[in-house]
Amino acid sequence: MTFNSNSKLLITGGTGSFGKEFIKTILENHPDIQRIVVYSRDELKQWELQKQYPPEKFKQLRFFLGDVRDQSRLRRALEGIDTVIHAAALKQVPAAEYNPMEFVKTNVLGAENIIQACLDTEVKRVVALSTDKAAAPINLYGATKLCSDKLFVAANNIKGTRGLRFSVVRYGNVMGSRGSVIPFFLDKTKTGTLPITDTRMTRFNISLTEGVEMVLWALRNAIGGEVFVPKIPSYRIIDVAEAIGPNCKKENIGIRPGEKIHEEMITASDSFSTIDLGQYYAILPSDGSANGQYSNSGKAIKAVEPGFAYNSGSNPEFLTVEQIRDLIRKHVDPTFQPT
């Protein structure tokens, strides 16, 4: 699947970090696309994005105020749409622990609303964004995203004869995104102290550009029912602190509730239904429904070893301090200098 002058795309959470990068990429590479609907509930962010893309110049852009909790509004927004990127979610771990049902309503019931609205319209492709916290979750945010992943995978069982495919992409920390550690540390350098939760802590790292490329790859290649996982490097939190503030004091404050020392994107239990596609892994539906389709697809695939797990702590590729600095300059702040 590729975008052309007849393509009509909707992205939920379109005013977030991923949404803005995705829209920018589509407009740069497919300026003749017929329609991009930006669906989100924040009128201020929509207004700010409209200033960046004035309607008289970007006639293909439409801005829909709406919440994924509202299925009837979703149905209206999806009229005539053929491709959906579901990026809307509540994401902050502490907020989820304090407001659990709000996260359930948006991340779980909102996912089900997307699925039902797509089944009721003419949508052909759906890619939902997930998170490494959905693998063996220990916090409510991760649990809601795992539930969302399961809903999108299972939706392929009820599509009937529709030419509709649901799939999921799961990746780690997005470099420079709101609430992530790098902008947090950059701000904290003003105080001369960087708070370290645990010196052993590791995380997967992906750039916004790589996240967008992965979603576009999934749209082109998904059979339906997969959870795609990228092969990306890890970093040590202590190396991020050293890259940003080598002269700052490093204060160990202890791990926060709901945090892991290392994140996982594929668990050992997933290994029995996981295949290696080269640039990405794909966790296939555990009922085996997609196995034959992949075997007959002509794709270069191989099963991972039983018991294989993809963990940020045992990842064979780690970023060095200097590589982290280069990536900050490339993806976060071109003028960055260590403090």
Q: Which amino acids are annotated catalytic? A: 133
CA gap 156, 249 in Å, rounded? 51
Axis crossing angle, helix 237-244 with helix 181-188, rounded to the nearest 10 = 40
Sign, CA dihedral 24-25-31-36, equals negative
Using an 8 Å Cβ cutoff, are 193 and 249 in contact? yes
Give the other-Cβ count within 10 Å of 317's Cβ.
10
Tokens of 17: 């970090």
DSSP 251: E
Unique residue bearing structure tokens 């004869």: 161
Using an 8 Å Cβ cutoff, are 118 and 126 in contact? yes
Nearest alpha-carbon partner for 238 in 316, 335, 319 = 319
Residue 308 CA, chain-centre distance (Å), reads: 22
Strands 35-40, 8-12: pairing is: parallel
Half-sphere exposure of 270 (CA within 13 A, CB side): 24
DSSP 318: B
CB proximity list for 63: less than 8 A, separation 6 or greater: 37, 38, 46, 49, 50
* CA distances (Å), origin 16, targets 10, 12, 90, 105, 214: 14, 9, 11, 19, 17
CA gap 88, 201 in Å, rounded? 27
CA gap 156, 131 in Å, rounded? 20
Length of the chain: 339
